[in-house]
Amino acid sequence: MELGGMTIDSVRAAIASGTTTATAIAEEHYGRIAAEDGPSGDGLTGKGINSFLALSRDRALAQAEKIDRMAAKGEELGPLAGVPVGIKDVLTMKGSPATASSLILKGYMPPYDATAVTRLEAAGAVLLGKLNCDEFAMGSSNENSAYGPVRNPRALDRVPGGSSGGSAAAVAAGFAVASLGSDTGGSIRQPAAFCGVVGVLPTYGRVSRFGLIAFASSLDRVGPFATNVRDAATMLGVLAGQDALDATSSDRPVGDYVGALEKPVKGLRIGVPAEYFGEGLDAEIRAAIERALDGLRAAGCEVKTIALPHTKYAIPTYYVIATAEASANLARFDGVRFGLRAAAGNEGAQTLSAMYRETRDQGFGAEVKRRILLGTYVLSAGYYDAYYRKAQQVRTLLTRDFLAAFAEVDAIVAPITPTPPWKLGEKTADPLQMYLEDIYSVAASLAGICAMSVPCGETASGLPIGVQIMGRHFNEETMLRVALAVETAQA
């Protein structure tokens, strides 16, 4: 089997038939990582993609051997049996470091698994290791990692998107068949678009956040990356469902996401928000989205223009709420309980408050510091009502926009990025320009709806383009059906 062409179904079928073994597949993937991923730790050498921060070889091979024993006995295999999966480094895995790509958590080894990790392994997944990301999931290019930037496998001089750049790059490069990422304001969907893979943002509460290192708790979500829509649906089916360890997880029944793909899209009403097609949208991306819409029309969908009038307020609203929550969440990193602690001494921390200051100064990167400062400011006395409370009110208006739209349409199709992937280092000196790259992704995050990115073509220079598909709360089935129709039209 060609590594880059493996799917969840093909891996599972090959193991069940005895054509190959889960152990052999895992070793092949580790071989490719060693050859191509780059000097990112654990003795990795290669091209310098830098997607993996640490490998969990012992755990992965023990799981692979277990799957092989089950297959040899003819036992029923789980939906992810033998499938190599990578885990974003903001999720905890017992026995593996969880740094959130930050120096402040260097050396931290969590004593427990995130619920998403537990569910993947219970379904038979072989967990290869931890994946690079922007520090504490704060970024749109994966250049904010304390352990070096991730390169886009489709163009090594380009960014892979962020914050889940390592998760997208690992799947695009064939280092893993699927991966886990997190999305706070676009961090699954944007890198999926930039790397030419599928990325899913489930409805808030659909997938447990237990074991996710928090950035902004009312926005953070866990979701899968895969090479195709069917694999993404399979991954989501494993991940979804209520978790007693996460009070924000929903008790709504989980749909049959793979089964839903069998239903035709004929007759579905597709909304196209006019606000997403204004100034600043790259011409080649606009043309690719239009072609995707033509494909949906050809499949029998009704395509109509809709209005999401408060979209223009989404970026400032997001960067008030997300930074405020980050300021509160990251206060726990003080050098006392885990991770980095500033050394005492003549030039070090002499008092407790000095140790806090020195630890945070040494441990947090520039972007994380910037967002903590912004968040602390908007929560401070005299500014709370003017910024944070007002942002929450606008968030309600944005949510109402989507609720009104979904009363008229079954899904919404729009761009996910205003531009193709840019060159490494091109935007690092201009944080505002970087924030504006989230212009099409943050509204769905604020509203809590489900959304995903699906490949829909390439630029003239061969850079991937993704289209965003948004669905109403807990209607992942319809969203995935539309995504499959877009994917099928590309074939």
Q: Which of 485, 110, 152 is nearest to 298 (CA)?
A: 485
Number of domains composing the chain:
1
What mean pLDDT comes out for the span 112-128? 98
Rounded to an integer, what distance in angstroms lies between the CA atom of residue 392 and that of residue 390?
5
Nearest alpha-carbon partner for 455 in 489, 423, 405: 489
> Can you list the alpha helix ranges (DSSP code H) found in 309-468?
314-329, 352-363, 366-379, 390-406, 431-436, 442-447
- CATH number reported for the structural domain that contains residue 98 in this entry: 3.90.1300.10
Report yes or no on 398 lying in a domain. Answer: no
Amino acid in position 111: P
Does pLDDT of 399 surpass 50? yes
- Average pLDDT on 198-203 reads 98
For 285-322, write each residue's pLDDT tens digit: 999 999 999 999 999 999 999 999 999 999 999 999 99
Asked whether residue 358 is domain-assigned, the answer is no
280 occurs within a structural domain: no
> Smallest Cα–Cα separation from 140: which of 130, 150, 155?
150
What is the structure's pLDDT at 42?
45
Stronger pLDDT, 1 or 50, i.e. the higher one: 50
Catalytic residue among 141, 187, 441, 445: 187
Q: Per the residue annotation, which of 163, 179, 250, 441 is the catalytic one?
A: 163
Give the tens place of pLDDT for each residue, 125-144.
999 999 999 999 999 999 99
pLDDT single digits (tens) 430-446: 888 898 899 999 999 99
Regarding predicted confidence, which is higher, 429 or 18? Answer: 18
The tokens describing 116, both together, are 């998403």
Average pLDDT of 63-71? 98
- Does residue 147 fall inside a structural domain? yes
**88 is an active site residue:** yes
* CB contact burial 153-177 (16+ within 10 A = b; e otherwise): bbbeebbbbbbbbbbbbbbbbbbbb
pLDDT per residue over 136-183, tens digit each? 999 999 999 999 999 999 999 999 999 999 999 999 999 999 999 999
pLDDT for the residue numbered 346: 52
Residues 6 or more apart from 467 whose CB is under 8 A from it? 193, 288, 289, 292, 413, 414, 415, 416, 453, 454, 455, 456, 486
- Residue 187 bears catalytic tag: yes
The CA-CA-CA angle for residues 74, 79, 80, to 5°, reads 100
Predicted pLDDT of residue 382: 87
Residue 206 placed within a domain: yes
Report angle CA 118, 449, 300 to the nearest 5 degrees: 110
Instruction: Determine the structural domain holding residue 44 and report its residue range.
Output: 3-260
CA distance 70 to 85: 19
Percent of the chain with pLDDT over 90: 88
Active-site position among 56, 88, 182, 441: 88
Distance CA 31, CA 21 (A): 15
User: Three-state DSSP class for 185?
Assistant: coil
Residue 12 lies in a domain: yes
For residue 11, being part of any structural domain is answered with yes
Residue 16 located in a structural domain: yes
